Amino acid sequence: MQSGLIKHLQALLGEPYLLTDPAECRAYGYDNSTVQGQPLAVALPRSHAEVTEIVKACYTHEVALIARGQGTGTTGATVPQDSRSLILCMQRMDRIKEINRDDRLMVVEPGVTNQAVQDAAADYGFFWPPDPTSAAVCTIGGNLAYNSAGPRAVKYGTPRENTLALKAVTGTGETIRTGVRTSKGVVGYDLTRLLIGSEGTLAIITEATLRLTPLLPSKRTVQAVYRDMHSAACAVSNIMAQPVIPCALEFMDANAIDMVRADVPTELAADAGALLMIEIDGFESQLDEMVKRICDVARVEGLLAIQQAASQQEVVSLWEVRKALSPALRRVAPKKINEDVVVPVSRMPELVDRLARLSDKHRTKIVNFGHAGNGNLHVNLLYDPADPDQKRRADACLADVFEAVLEMGGTISGEHGIGLVKRDWVAKELDSSSLVLMHAIKRQFDPKGILNPGKALPPE
């Protein structure tokens, strides 16, 4: 059966674009998590028509099909669970098909990188708001699969708010078109938002119509340093409760600051317990007043220093501390646990206090940073997985982190998705009736269950 599928796909794609050598396929069997797998083969289509034929072939042969971009995800969502799975790598479908200035939209294929979209939009005076840290290499298809956003989501929203329409292939090989090219439309159910964030379990996205936003001409950068995480979290709540919404509001705790001190020359106080990076965009004539409003509400008890960048060089210098963190974390703990939990902004102070207590309780170092304006923290548990005791304590700590987040009305994932890594926790966040409906939706789109099986939802 598998040999028949391979022969069919070789005839369809040509041998260079169907990888069957186990060593070559291995490179497509892992993502940015610690999970790895070995696929049967890797197909690299160039068009919607080829994707349709591949899905139909997998449907006929009942072979699992997993779509992927550049593999920057962190939850194992693109990792095959057995050697009978076919990887559908979308990196050759990387064309920008249309930019429409008057309608403020761009039509792209899923393999185009986020950075390529930003560069093309900027030529017309626009940008696409989602901006993950991996924007230079991550693909639009991956952004849509996870609903991945980034710092700008605090003001401009996630891919769900910035995508007008999709073209996709269901698990039976049928083509569907969702959404509209207009800013308003209410005909039928909202399948666009349903597919975004579904991790390729419902349909394979082959084209996206993106909503573009005009670039504002000016931006200001402010760095605020606090004595402790609680003070910074209170400042975040204040900032998000007033009319001026920053276009970025990033957070680092004391452990994160200490981790980068050796890498980045900084004048941060030795007792700095937390840091906020704040960006405000707008018209130059407005920015002085906007920055003043932000700084006024950021001056809470525990503030140690607040600084506005006076030049582009100072902007770069202030951001260096934040940008140096991810490489430092990988160097110190390459197999750390990295979770992107979210709580209501009003509960941020409570969350950071509870994380500190959990770190002490489980004797596990926790480094926190993230998109504070959304209540979205990246909680990093540093441990050595080769040490059984450290692993046991880290796993117990993570369970308590998730329980705390759910108790506060939060969610276990803001933008990293579920994949395999968080799948078993989904039933703790969603009620059983909702899960029954979701499994029914999955069957409607994918009756044989071939699209990314075992991901995103726990077993029925």
What is the per-residue pLDDT for 1? 55
What is the per-residue pLDDT for 186? 94
CA 67/CA 50 separation, integer angstroms: 13
- 378-416: per-residue pLDDT in tens? 999 999 989 999 999 999 999 999 999 999 999 999 999
What domains does the chain contain, in order, with CATH numbers? 1-215+423-452 (3.30.465.10), 218-326 (3.30.70.2190), 328-422 (3.30.70.2740)
What is the per-residue pLDDT for 167? 98
Contact 160, 197 (CB under 8 A): yes
Nearest CA to 81 out of 323, 420, 430 is that of 420
Residues 6 or more apart in contact with residue 49 via CB below 8 angstroms: none
Strand order in the sheet with 105-108: 96-100, 105-108, 203-211, 163-170, 175-179
10-residue averages of pLDDT along the chain (460 residues): 87 94 95 92 98 98 97 94 96 98 98 98 98 93 96 96 98 98 95 98 98 97 94 94 96 91 81 95 96 97 95 91 85 85 92 93 94 93 93 96 97 94 95 98 98 96
What is the per-residue pLDDT for 343? 96
What is the per-residue pLDDT for 323? 85
Q: Residues in the chain, how many?
A: 460
Nearest CA to 132 out of 381, 88, 118, 251 is that of 118
Residues 6 or more apart in contact with residue 138 via CB below 8 angstroms: 69, 70, 72, 113, 114, 132, 148
What is the per-residue pLDDT for 263? 80
CA 345/CA 299 separation, integer angstroms: 18
pTM: 0.94
Angle at 150 between CA 144 and CA 153, to 5 degrees: 90
- 114-147: per-residue pLDDT in tens? 999 999 999 999 999 999 989 999 999 999 999 9
What is the per-residue pLDDT for 2? 76
Residue 278 forms beta bridges with which residues? 222, 249
